[in-house]
Structure 1
Amino acid sequence: MSTAQTAASPETLVERRREVLELTGWGLPFRLRQPHNLCFWVYIVFFVLGAVHLIEYFSGGASVVGTGLGAGATATALYGLVFLAILRRGDHYERQPRNLVLTAFLWGAVPATFLFALTVNTALLDIYPKLFGQAFGVDWGAALTAPFTEETSKAAGFVLLLGLAPRLIRTPYDGVFIGAFIGLGFQLFEDVLYDYNSAIAGFADNQVGAALGTFALRAGSGIFSHTLYSALFCCGLIYAIGTPIQPRRLGLGIGLIVLAMLTHGTWDAIAAIGGTAAIGLFGVLLFSVFALIMLFVMMHKTVGQEREFLRAILQPEVANGTLTQAELDAVCAPRKQRKRFIRAGKGHRTHHHTKHVLRATLDLAHEIAMAGGTDSPGVLHERAEIARVRLAPRAGSPMTAASAG
């Protein structure tokens, strides 16, 4: 932070906070129901049609392989909770509204999977063998189909969400997380679909084993699946389209989109590329690791912007005495610097109290954002919580009469 910002008057800092809240939309709620917004009706129509396709797909054999379907769905749901926890933990600075995240997830789970991808994939996978032969269709059909049909079907939902929440989705960082939730919905429901197909293929013989075996294979490669592809693709869309916060960078945006599709395609063609040669399989895995690294690079590249927004929201709290400058610097710092700040004190209890202060500081920022920069009851509560934790007795520090009282 510059010296000018540090020396700014409290009134200037509060005004800067309001500007950042207006620019970023932090703290704004999300409503899916927007009758005057065409995006709402498009979303609803496609979701209903997708739900009809989902019911039709599973209704034929659910009564026969219901046990296998249930086992596969349960395993996939538990697996999905792990992914969900990781993604929500990664959304450290601006917490996207839960209903926006749920809307993104449901698009990937229902319309993208069952209305668009399943329908178009089935048609295209029948065409390739007729045009180029059965062997070509088996080896390359999925790789020449899924990256186009599935990535665009997921991206269509992201574009709808841009129309439904234009003030909430403005940075590449937002694109990464909303895209990841769309991809997670697609990934989990596609896994259930494959579990179901495996149970059906065995004519209900050992249906639980067949479903769980398929789940295990797909879960093992889950880190290189739709969550990764969509996070890259939607981050690229933000760069390609541009927003009031992110200037348009068409080249970078197209590059990320192409990288997502290539990663998807090479993974689907892993058998044709690798065959029995270990070098081919290793090459596909290496390319997928490269894509994952690029995703982390883009997150690291854009998270600095999120930290500066957080700093602007919290800087007036230093001026009014709620926070120290060191605490503000720590909560807006990268993870390693935060850890160093926490460990600077002596004793486990001191570390615990410092960590609690930083967590309460982050909660304070979110309360300020939801209150639009005003002193709401939630803001006052979090300020009091920070003061309470700071005054609590710590290891190595004898309790004074005042603190005891």
Structure 2
Amino acid sequence: MSSVSTSSPTAPAPAASAPVPARTTPGYPAYGREFFQPRSAVWWVFCVLVALGAPGVTLAVAQSFTAAKDSLLTIAPIFLITLALFAVIVLWADPYRARRGWILVVATVFGITVPTWLGIHANGHLGSITAKLLPSGMGADWGAAVSGPTSEEFGKMLGVVMIMLIASHTLRRPMHGLLVGAFVGLGFQIFENVSYAANSAPSNANDDLTGAFGVTLLRSAIGISSHWLYSAIVGVGVAFLLGRTVQRLSLVQRIAGFVGFFALGWGLHFWWNSPSPQAAAAVLMLVKILVALTCFILVARLAWRQEREFLSRADGELRQSPQARGVAVDLADPAVTSAAGTRRQRKQGLKEARKRGGRALKKSVKKARRVYLDALQAWGRRGTGVDELPTVS
């Protein structure tokens, strides 16, 4: 096949990456499924935690939810729209299609249940400890800033660690940690919004709906820099801790990376919950949102660089494999292969496609790019029995 153009990823040395162990390896579960791993102790711990967390959190919020059920049903579309909107934002931050649909659903379910359940029980105790340790009068102001990030980020991180361990043969890079973390946080965030709406419903003097509607709109608007963002950053740290990076890192580097990313996610959450002067509350809220988004973009750029390096290796290896003949795109077309490049290269590739064939060709190239990226991602899963490329002899 033709060599890659300058706008496509460069081929690496043959020894750049090692194949994933095949599912026929003795002792390795040959299920052909990504998350269903009943031979894994971690899988059972995950299932038990969700099985306990779901009824636990249901019982904890049953009274407030029941009292405000009519208002919650009325504003339910807002919750669904918010969930869909932030899911789209997270997937937009995945231009190289590293996403694993079923895994992200599982992550959302975990976020709704376990960290919420843990937070309900832990936040009060942590707030009491904070009040005792801080000078008189400061505990009430700073309790939420300490307790919220500590219990909630730990609970969400726990889910990311378990999911990354259970699906260890397909979740291999920082981008996977970012996506899993974001959807764990998104599940937590949406359920928290519903809880705040239920608790705020009786607070309005006019009617329950007004109280629930107002807090829901506010939390939906500021949710652009909320739990999904903190957990996405922590998720990248988990990927580093587990060695899920393209380059091999020493144990010290892995631990340092995890500590740094966790501290960043925790710190942004702490800053958000910290008290602000009433006169400057709105301005500080905007500053906090902008700082959080900036931090997320910087972390995402690091994950993107890792993803491009992986795609570059996968492209070079796939081209030398007979399976390349089963990929239904032209691997010599730079407009297509630039999909694995930088944002500038991707835009330039589409621009050149439109020059050559107008909107019709541009649309066709966009579709071919998805096929190309999915093929490279599937190449990285070879030997796992999960969404692999078909064998071509």
Deviation at 1:286, TM superposition (A): 5.3
- Structure 2 Cα separation of the partners of residues 171 and 293 of structure 1: 17
Of 338, 350, 358 in structure 2, the residue corresponding to residue 342 of structure 1 is 350
> Match for 1:120: what amino acid?
A
Deviations 1:304-344 (A, max 9, x none): 22431452365354899943242453232223322222222
State the TM-score, normalized to the length of structure 1: 0.77
Picking from 28, 32, 40, the partner of 1:37 is 40
How far apart are 1:147 and its partner, in Å? Answer: 1.3
Displacement of 1:100 in angstroms is: 0.9
Query: Is 1:357 aligned with 2:357?
Result: no
* Displacement after TM superposition at 1:99 (Å): 1.4
Structure 1 contact 179–233 (Cα < 8 Å) conserved: yes
* Residues 1:163 and 2:171 aligned together: no
Tell me if structure 1 keeps the 8 A contact 2:185–2:228.
Answer: yes
Counterpart of 1:252?
A: 257
Pair member with larger Rg? 1
What residue is the counterpart of 1:303 in the other structure? 307
SS in 1 for 2:139: helix
Partners of 1:259 and 1:215 in 2: how far apart? 27
**2:211 match:** 210
Q: What does residue 57 of structure 2 align with?
A: 54
1:60, CA displacement in angstroms? 1.6
**Greater CA deviation, 120-129 or 307-316?**
307-316
Following TM superposition, by how much is the alpha carbon of 1:126 offset from its aligned partner in structure 2, in angstroms?
3.7
Per the alignment, in what secondary structure is the counterpart of residue 91 of structure 1? coil
Instruction: Confirm or deny: 8 A CA contact 1:158 1:234 kept in the other structure.
Output: yes
Residue among 334, 339, 352 paired with 1:331: 339
Once the 2 structures are TM-superposed, how far is the Cα of residue 275 of structure 1 from its aligned partner?
Answer: 4.2
What residue number does 1:221 align with? 222
SS of 2:146's equivalent in the other structure is: coil
d(CA) in 1 for partners of 2:248, 2:119: 32
Give the alignment of 1:275-294 within 5 angstroms.
275-277=278-280, 284-285=288-289, 287-294=291-298
Q: 1:97 to 1:336 in 2, by over 3 A?
A: same
Where do residues 43-192 of structure 1 align in structure 2 (5 Å cutoff)?
43-113=46-116, 115-129=117-131, 132=134, 135-192=137-194
1:86-123 Cα deviation digits (max 9, x unpaired) = 2234333344332111111111111111x211110122
Distance 1:335 1:301 in 2: 11
Q: Distance in 2 between matches of 1:41 and 1:235?
A: 24
Q: State which drifts further: 148-157 or 127-136.
A: 127-136
Q: Could you tell me whether the CA contact under 8 Å between 1:37 and 1:164 is conserved in 2?
A: yes
Unaligned runs of 5+ in 1: 7-12, 377-405
Identical amino acids, percent of aligned pairs = 24
Q: Which has the higher contact order (CA 8 A, sep 6+)?
A: 2
C-alpha distance in structure 1 between counterparts of 2:66 and 2:389, whole Å = 55
Q: Which residue is equivalent to 2:237? A: 236
Change (3 A) 1:357 1:262: same
Output the CA distance in 2 between the equivalents of 1:310 and 1:350. 30
What residue number does 2:8 align with? none
The whole-number CA distance in structure 2 between the counterparts of 1:153 and 1:94 is: 27
Coordinate RMSD, CA, aligned? 3.6
**Matched-pair contact (CA < 8 Å) for 2:156–2:184:** yes
Paired residue type of 1:253: F
> Is 1:22 aligned with 2:26?
no
Aligned pairs (5 A) from 1:190-201: 190-201=192-203
Deviation of the 1:187 alpha carbon: 0.8
Cα displacement (A) at 1:131: 5.3
- What's the CA shift for 1:199? 1.1
Unaligned ranges ≥5, structure 2:
6-10, 24-30, 379-385
Residue 364 of structure 1, CA deviation: 5.0
CA displacement 1:276-318 (0-9 Å, x = unmatched): 3477656645543442342233234323224314523653548
- Is 1:315 aligned with 2:323? no
* C-alpha distance after superposition, 1:198-223 (max 9, x if no partner): 114448x5211111111111122112
Distance in 2 separating the partners of 1:207 and 1:23:
57
Instruction: Describe the shift of the 1:318–1:293 C-alpha distance in structure 2 as closer, same or farther (beyond 3 A).
Output: same
Number of aligned residue pairs: give it. 361
Query: CA distance change for structure 1 residues 85 and 345 in 2, over 3 Å: closer, same or farther?
Result: closer
Look up the equivalent residue of 1:259 and give its one-letter code.
L
* In 1, Cα distance between equivalents of 2:335 and 2:32: 28
* Alpha carbons 1:172, 1:302 under 8 Å: kept: yes
